[in-house]
């Protein structure tokens, strides 16, 4: 018996035609490089084509801004470029976004902060999902590109705050559709209680990460839950629901969060400077630079993971040491 909405018959994750970001630079699969850098006039987006040609575009209303955690992403379906950044510091911090479609900038808009709460350390990931549903015996394709944006928000101190996620769908034109988008707090989501006294004075952990799992192709969020003393890895899933647009029934994707892993937190880590390497089965190693060494942690659900150090020098270069650490999950 058919339910009130079309039965889901297949889910096809067609790669990431929208490019996952890499901080202030993004390289598309066709070899085009996008980068955002400050200038005396504001933030400049540079676009280097595969033939070496470079074009530049000034992001409006950014003159005099000091931006932190600058992120740039590209939707290869439409060519839309989206930029996110933190402006201000401490309790004055807020997260801003702006985007470029067909040569025209829209924004900046304040996504979080500037309302009595602080919002900082944004990261973005673009993901395209294609779902085939059954509509009275006929397969119908529903496709959506999402901009997933994570940040850290707090009212008084960072270790009393939480990571947040906002998933912004793109219209067919590439324009982000902000109406109806709600930010979701990523703390206190555990299916059962984990008692602890809280993590104190570990501000370096207040920096959520978002990445694409190479095995499933799904985006995941890595975030600290200070109240439960754990790192969480949350998988971003999708479903299709029906809705009415006047007298016309339409379909859209919604975002569902699922727990992928829970790991005891290591307060020695400084997530703001950490790089994440993910292998099959969500094996994760996180690593960062220290004097003459690469410090790293292999995430382990069996206890607080210890920090290890791989020193380099005459016989081992820094690049070789980093590659060896990354190989731990491959």
Q: What is the pLDDT of residue 303?
A: 60
CA–CA separation, 45 vs 279, rounded Å?
A: 32
How does pLDDT run across 220-252, given as a tens digit for each residue? 998 888 888 888 889 999 999 988 888 888 889
More confident residue, 231 or 15: 231
> Which tokens sit at 173?
């034109």
In sequence order, what E strands does 67-137 have? 67-75, 81-87, 94-101, 104-113, 118-135
Residue 300 has pLDDT above 70, yes or no: no
Which residues lie below 8 Å from residue 263, measured CB to CB, with a gap of 6+? Answer: 230, 231, 232, 233, 299, 300, 301, 305
The percentage of residues in the chain with a pLDDT greater than 90, rounded to a whole number, is 50
CA–CA separation, 279 vs 298, rounded Å?
A: 11
How does pLDDT run across 42-89, given as a tens digit for each residue? 999 999 999 999 999 999 999 988 778 899 999 999 999 999 999 999
More confident residue, 20 or 241: 241
Q: What is the pLDDT of residue 11?
A: 35
More confident residue, 126 or 212: 126
b/e per residue, 86-98, with b = 16+ CB within 10 A? bbbeeeebbbbbb
Residue 138 has pLDDT above 60, yes or no: yes
Which of 92-106, 138-152, 221-235, 294-308 bottoms out in mean pLDDT, i.e. has the lowest? 294-308
């Amino acid at each position: 018996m058919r339910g009130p909405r079309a039965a889901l018959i297949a889910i096809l994750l067609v790669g990431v035609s929208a490019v996952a970001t890499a901080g202030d630079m993004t390289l598309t699969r066709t070899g085009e490089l996008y980068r955002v850098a400050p200038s005396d006039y504001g933030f400049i987006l540079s676009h280097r084509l595969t033939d070496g040609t470079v074009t530049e575009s000034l992001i409006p209303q950014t003159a005099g801004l000091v931006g932190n955690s600058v992120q740039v992403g590209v939707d290869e379906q439409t060519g839309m470029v989206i930029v996110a950044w933190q402006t201000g510091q401490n309790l004055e911090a807020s997260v801003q976004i702006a985007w470029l479609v067909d040569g025209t900038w829209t924004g900046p808009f304040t996504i979080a902060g500037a309302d009595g709460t602080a919002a900082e350390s944004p990261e973005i990931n673009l993901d395209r999902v294609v779902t085939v549903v059954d509509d009275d015996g006929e397969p119908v394709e529903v496709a959506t590109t999402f901009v997933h944006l994570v940040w850290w928000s707090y009212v008084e101190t960072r270790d009393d705050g939480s990571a947040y996620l906002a998933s912004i769908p793109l219209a067919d034109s590439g324009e982000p559709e902000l109406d109806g988008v709600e930010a979701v707090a990523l703390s206190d989501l555990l299916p059962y209680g984990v008692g602890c006294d809280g993590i104190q004075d570990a501000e370096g952990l207040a920096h959520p990460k978002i990445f694409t799992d190479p095995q499933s192709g799904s985006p995941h969020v890595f975030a600290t839950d200070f109240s439960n003393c754990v790192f969480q890895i949350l998988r971003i899933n999708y479903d299709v629901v029906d809705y009415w647009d006047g007298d016309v029934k339409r379909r859209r994707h919604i975002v569902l969060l699922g727990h992928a892993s829970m790991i005891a937190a290591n307060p020695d880590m400084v997530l703001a400077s950490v790089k994440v390497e993910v292998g099959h089965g969500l094996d994760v190693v996180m690593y960062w630079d220290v004097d003459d060494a690469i410090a790293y942690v292999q995430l382990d659900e069996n206890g607080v993971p210890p920090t290890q150090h791989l020193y380099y020098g005459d016989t081992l270069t820094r690049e070789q040491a980093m590659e060896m650490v990354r190989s731990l999950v491959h």
